[in-house]
Amino acid sequence: MLDAVPQPPKSSPPLANEGFLVCGLGSLGQNCVANLKSFGVPVHAINNTLPDQWEVPHLRDLIDHLEMGDCRSAAVLEKAGIRQCRAVLLVTQDERVNLEAALTARVLNPRVRIVMRSDKQNLNNLMRQQLKNFVAFEPTQLAAPAFALGAFGEELIGYFSLDGHRFQVVKQRLEPGHRWCDRRQIHELETGHRRVLCHTPLTPDPARVAASPSTLFYTWLPDTLLRADDEVVLVECGAQLRWSRTGPQGPSLQGETAKPLRQEAFKGLRRAIARRGSWSALRQDWLSIWQASSGHQLRQVAILCGVTVLTLCLVGTLLLDINSPDDIPLFQAFLYTFITLFGGYGDVYTALEKFDHSRLLQAFGVLLTVAGAAFVGVLYALLTEKLLTLRFEFMERRPPVPEKDHVVVIWLGRVGRQVLAALQELNQPVLGISSHGLDADLLPKVPLLTGDVTAALNKANLATAKSVVAVSEDEIQNLEMGLLAHRLNPHCRAIIRTYDQQFTDRVAQIFPFAQVLCASALSAEAFAGAAFGEQVIGLFRLYEQTVLITQYQIESEDTLVDRLLSEVAYGYGVVPLWHQPQSQPGKIMPSDDARLQPGDRLVVLATISGLRRIEQHQMAPRTWHIHLSQALTADALFDGAAEIARVAGYRLGEAREFMAQLPGTLPLPLYRHQALRLSRLLTRAQVKVQVVAPPSSEPEQTTGGFLKK
C-alpha cells in the first residue's frame, strides 16, 4: 500500500533535464507520480482538471508543478517544463491523446525519453524504430500475468522468457523427509540454472538474518542448514513445471472428438451398399443412418428427399428403357430421366411422344419435375442452414466444462483473455464466463459459458474449482463475484481486479481470503522504472511486493560500469539473471565474479527500491573482512591468490604478494555473502581463513571447510 511516498534523502538541487513529466492523473498516473517521487526527482504533471480523488495521500503536495490543460498542446507542455524534463510519461486513457502528445513532446525536446501507454503492438514497434528513446506499455498486459499466477496457486510465483530461455519463480515448503532437509545448506541449492531468492525458516532466528539493502533478497545466510517446514523461493531456468499436464485441459483435450454427423451418415451409406444382399442387415444400416440424423429435422428431410429422388431416377430409367420405340442405350434412358428430374422436362417432352404409352410417360415426367424442384429446394435450405450455423458449430467444438481443479475467469475482456491465455500456457484447466459469446477464433480450446454471469456460475462446477478470477471493468461487480464464489466454495481462491489503490487496501483488509490486485498500481512501477531508461520486461508479485524483470544496457557513463556482479547484487539488492558481454553469447545465472563493461547486457530481478538505489548510486557499505592465517601447502599459495583475485576483485599480482606475507587481513572490505563465499573457496584451497565481522558482530571462523560462530 502506498499510504505515503517514502521521502528520499536530501540531495543537491536537481540539474537541468532531471525532472519527469506525467501526463494524465488517473489511477495509473497518480501511482506513477508516487513511484517517481520515491526516487527523489522533480515531478511535473498535466491534467485537464483536478482529479476527483487522490488515491495516494498528500500526493498533490508532492507534485512540483501541476499544469491544467490539454497535454497535446505545445503551450501546455512548455508551461509544464517539457524542455527541462528527462522523461515524459503519457498515461491518459485515450491512446490518440497519448500519441499526439508524444509527437509534440519530441518536437519540443528531441532528447526527452517517452514512456507511452498504448496497446497497439504494431504501432508501438514502428514508433520505437522511428523515435529513439521511446517505449510503450499497456498496463493490462503487464498486470495480466499477476492475475493468472494468483489464480494458479502459491507454488508458481512468476514465469518469463529471456532469449528463448524459460525462467520460473517457484515457492516450495520443505516437507519432512525432503532430500534437502538437514542435508543441504542454502548456498548448495545455487547452481548454473538456479538461484535462491528468499528463505523463511519455520522458527526465525535473528542471528541468522543477514543485513541487505533489499527487504526481499539476500536476507538469508548462505551457510544456513535447511530444515523441515522451511520455505524457499527459487528462480530456475530450463526446468519443467512439475505440475504440467498433457494439455491445457488435461489428457482429455487431446483425445477423440465427436465425429461430424455427415461422416457417420456416409459410413452408414457405404455399409448399406456393401451389404445390399442381406435384407435384415440393410434394414439395420438404414436405421442407423436415420438415427444419426436424429435431432436435425432438416437433415432427415434431406435424406427422405434423396432416397425418393434416387428411387424415381431408377424407376424412370427402367420405364423409358421398356417403352422405347428403338433399343436405346440404358445410359440414354438415364439421361432422359435425369434431365426431366432437374428441370429439363421441356427438352424431352417431344421425344417422349415417340415412346410407347407416351401419355403415361409424360405424366410421370411431370411427377419427376415436381420431385426434382422439391429436392433442389431442400438442398438450398440445407446449404443455407450450414452457412448460417457454421459459427455456432465451431463454438460447439469447445471443450466441456472441467469437473474440478479448474480456474474460472469471469468477463473476457482484454485482461480476461490474457489471463486465460497465460493459464493455458501453464497447462492449467480453465473456464471462461462471458455475458456474450466470443468469436470462434478467440481461444478456441477454452470451455465457455455465456449469458447471465450469476446463472453461469451455477454451471461452472464452482464447488470443485481451484480459483475464480473476476476482471471486469467494474470493481464493485468484481467484488460481488468474488464474494459469491467464496460463499459457494470457501476453499476457492478469489482474485479480484480493482482500479483504486485505497479501495484495494480496504477490501484486502476486510476480506483476507481474497487476493485483490490493482492493475494500475502494479503497472506504475514498470512505467516509473522505464522512465529512467531501463527496459522492464515483466513483473510478478512476491510477498506483497512487485518484482520487476529489468534489463540494463551498460553504457560508458553508467554507474554499473566496471562493477563485479557480486557488488551489483549485494550492494544494490538485485538478483542478476542474465549477463551478455558485447558480441558474445549470453549466460544464464552468471557468476558473481563477472565484471560489467560498456556494451554488456544485464537482466536483473529488482523491486522499485532496487532500481532507485542503482539510479542514485546508493550502494550498501561493505563491512566484512577476510583474515588469512596460513596456507597449508605450496599450491595453496597460488590457488588462494587466484580465488582472492577472482572473488574480491584484486589484481592477481597484488593477491600473490598478499599471500606471500601471511598471516594478514585483506584490506578491501567485502559484503557478507561475498566474504562467506570467498572463505569457502579458500578453505577448499587449503588456506586457513576467518571471516571478520564488523565491530558490532561476532567473527565467523572457517576450519576444515565448516563455518562456525
Q: Please name the residue that has the C-alpha cell 479448474.
A: 406
The CATH T-level fold of domain 19-137 is Rossmann fold (3.40.50)
What does the pLDDT look like over 639-659, one tens digit per residue?
A: 999 999 999 988 999 999 999
Where does the pLDDT of residue 341 fall: very low under 50, low under 70, confident under 90, or very high at 90 and above?
low
Task: Please state, in angstroms and rounded to a whole number, the distance separating the CA atoms of residues 417 and 410.
Answer: 10
On whether the CB atoms of residues 555 and 609 are closer than 8 A, the answer is: no
User: What class has domain 295-393?
Assistant: mainly alpha
Task: Please state, in angstroms and rounded to a whole number, the distance separating the CA atoms of residues 392 and 405.
Answer: 28
Question: What CATH superfamily classification does 402-522 receive?
Answer: NAD(P)-binding Rossmann-like Domain (3.40.50.720)
Percent of the residues in the chain that have a pLDDT greater than 90, as a whole number = 39
Task: Please state, in angstroms and rounded to a whole number, the distance separating the CA atoms of residues 450 and 435.
Answer: 5
H or E element at residue 692: strand 687-692
| Long-range Cβ pairs for the range 349-353 (8 Å, 24+) | none
- What is residue 287's predicted lDDT score, i.e. its pLDDT? 58
- What is residue 262's predicted lDDT score, i.e. its pLDDT? 43
322, 325, 327, 333 alpha-carbon torsion, rounded to 10°: -60
Are both 19-137 and 402-522 of the same fold? yes
Q: What mean pLDDT comes out for the span 130-139?
A: 86
12-21, 124-133, 469-478: segment of lowest average pLDDT? 12-21
H or E element at residue 294: none
Q: What mean pLDDT comes out for the span 583-608?
A: 93
User: What class has domain 523-615?
Assistant: alpha beta
Q: Which pTM was predicted?
A: 0.71
* CATH number for domain 625-708, candidates 1.10.10.10, 3.30.565.10, 3.30.1390.10, 3.40.50.11720: 3.30.1390.10
Beta bridge partners of 579: 587, 602
Q: Break the chain into its structural domains and give their ranges.
A: 19-137, 295-393, 402-522, 523-615, 625-708
Where does the pLDDT of residue 594 fall: very low under 50, low under 70, confident under 90, or very high at 90 and above?
very high
Does residue 467 sit in helix, strand or coil?
Answer: strand
- What is residue 442's predicted lDDT score, i.e. its pLDDT? 75
Q: Does residue 278 have a pLDDT over 60?
A: no
